[in-house]
Amino acid sequence: MKFLSAPWRWDFISSSGKQKGCIFCKIPKDLSRDSLICYLGDEFFVILNKYPYSSGHLMIVPYDHINSPEKISPESSTELWDLMNRAISILKKNFSPDGFNIGMNIGGAAGAGIKEHTHLHVVPRWNGDANYMGVIGDTKVVSYDIYHVYEKMKEGFSK
């Protein structure tokens, strides 16, 4: 069996257990650089991942504290799907990724870091973005500054 090392995720893993309560419920619902929230919808907000797998890695998070997508109403699911498609379009326009990983980790066994509050990941990918640097060099290369990505995403969602 092969293992892929992701040492840049350690800050998230080691600090997540120290906080009391749900991090998504505690995030201020404002459009400020510090919040990294790019868009506030009716049922969901869009936030950049503070510990991204790649530049532009964002999450679409329901305001409701729910732990699984089957608890999202059909009407709310429409907004979730729309925000995912808008995020993809904005990322394509501004950063030209070669592809995307999109998904949810539901439950601890599936790798959910925040298992009590479901959220959808949208991860832009570029050819060659998973290379030896993270595995051998203990270094993560992030091509864009997170605040640059934030400004582009916020601007894209405002249109």
Query: Could you give the residue numbers annotated as active site?
Result: 119
- DSSP label at residue 102: E
Helix or strand run (H / E) with residue 95: helix 74-95
Give the pair of three-digit tokens for residue 118. 């479901």
Angle (nearest 5°) at CA 102 between 6 and 121: 65
| Polymer length of the chain | 159
| Nearest in space to 54 (alpha carbons), one of 22, 23, 97 | 97
Angle between helices 74-95 and 146-157 (to 10 degrees): 120
Q: Which residues pair with 39 in a beta bridge?
A: 46
Rg over CA atoms, the chain: 16
